Structure formats: structure tokens, C-alpha cells
Amino acid sequence: MSTLNYVESPLNPSQALHSETILAGDGWFHPVRKGQTLRIVDLEGNQAADTFFFDEHDVTERYSAQDTVREQGSIYLTTGTVLRSNHCRPLLTITADTCGRHDTFGGACATESNMVRYSLDKRFMHACRDTFLLQMALSGRPVSKRDLAHNINFFMNVPVTPDGHLDFDDGVSAPGRYVEMQADRDVLCLISNCPQLNNPCNAYNPTPIQVIIWD
């Protein structure tokens, strides 16, 4: 398992261009322009912020977990990670991180995975994939479920075991910790603030996150 990589940001939230709180279970679909900095804040600790990125001007170019992991030679995301597209081009670069490590293997919870992982009666509970689809449908942009690929789970701790299995462990985040990234091109940021009520890593209590953008 990698060591945690903590780097604080010099940016002041009082000087931000945009600040918004996303309640547990809600979503957010918003442009981040080239050169702008996006911060996602884990307000109460150990909340999963499922996140995906598109090139704003060509949504067929989108975040690629495979290209990101391969090019950096590490399975975790942290300060210095370049978030790459399916064309292997930079979308954003993580410039600060007070959580220390983030997952890009575990994927988004869905009604089907709720049923498989927990029980049949959990199938109809809210899930991140549904939030993604709702945000895309409401956006008016030319995106649909065929454009979704493997997402980032900011603040989630999903270690990979020596035999290649994924463990959904207790989080390594805490109240007020954040991850910050600068856009290398105009992107669209899609977030589902995870509504998961069945996983003990968040004490069965999904909580709000905050998003902040600086020019």
C-alpha cells in the first residue's frame, strides 16, 4: 500500500469564483475552464465523492482510469497525478491533497451492485450511477449513459490486495480534508455525492461535500 501524500493549498476560499455545497445523494454537473482550480471538500469526513470528467468541447473524450494509472505507474490518485483522457491527454492535474490518496478502481454504486453486494431488497435504493444519469439528462448537453466510463472516488479507501482483490476499507479522510486540481483544458465535472447507506466506511451516514472554483 502506498504512503499518504499530503500537500496543502495556498488558495483562500474567500477569494473563490464559485462555492457550492452538494448534499448527500445530490449531483453536480459544471464546467471548469482551462487554468481554473477546482477543490472538493469532504466536509464531515469519509464521504465518497464519485467524480467523472469530460472534455467540454468533445464529450467523446473523457476521463480514463486505465490511461491515468498506466502513465503515472501508481494505482492511487494524489498530488501530482495527471488525470488523463481516453486519448491519453491531460484533463486536470491534482495540485493539492490533504486526504492523501483516492480510488479510481472501485467504480460507482448502482442499483445492481447494491443488490449483489448487500441484498435483493437494496436494489431500489438511490445509487451514484442514477445520479450521474439524472445530472446528464438535466444538463441539456450531448451526453448519455453510453458516455460514462470508470469514475474517480475521491476520499474513498479501496486498497488492492496482493492477489488483486479490492477491499472497501474504512476511509482515510476526515472533516475538512480536500483535494484540489487545476484544469489543463476546458472540462465538465460530473459529481455524485454518494448516497450509499449500506457501507460502514461512512458510518452508514452520507454527508455533504463542498465544491470551490478559483480563476
Going by pLDDT thresholds of 50, 70 and 90, the confidence category of residue 1 is: very low
Q: pLDDT higher for 160 or 33?
A: 33
167 within some domain: yes
Tell me what the mean pLDDT of segment 123-142 comes to. 87
Question: What number of helices (H) and strands (E) belong to the chain?
Answer: 3, 11
Grid cell locating 48: 465518497
Q: pLDDT higher for 15 or 110?
A: 15
16 within some domain: no
Q: What is the domain extent for residue 102? A: 23-214
pLDDT tens by residue, 56-111: 999 999 999 999 999 999 999 999 999 999 999 999 999 999 999 999 988 887 65
Residue spans of beta strands (DSSP E) within 33-115 = 37-42, 49-55, 58-62, 82-84, 90-97
Phi, psi values for residue 136, rounded to 5° = -65, -40
1 within some domain: no
Number of domains in the chain: 1
Tell me what the mean pLDDT of segment 42-55 comes to. 96
129 within some domain: yes
Tell me what the mean pLDDT of segment 16-27 comes to. 97
13 within some domain: no
Going by pLDDT thresholds of 50, 70 and 90, the confidence category of residue 204 is: confident
108 within some domain: yes
Number of neighbouring beta carbons within 10 Å of residue 163: 5
Residue 19: name the closest of 187, 208, 186, 154 by CA.
Answer: 208
72 within some domain: yes
Q: CA dihedral in degrees (136, 142, 148, 153; nearest 10)? A: -50
Query: What is the Cα–Cα distance from 124 to 207, expressed in whole angstroms?
Result: 20
10 within some domain: no
Q: Is the pTM of this model over 0.85?
A: yes
Query: What is the Cα–Cα distance from 133 to 98, expressed in whole angstroms?
Result: 30
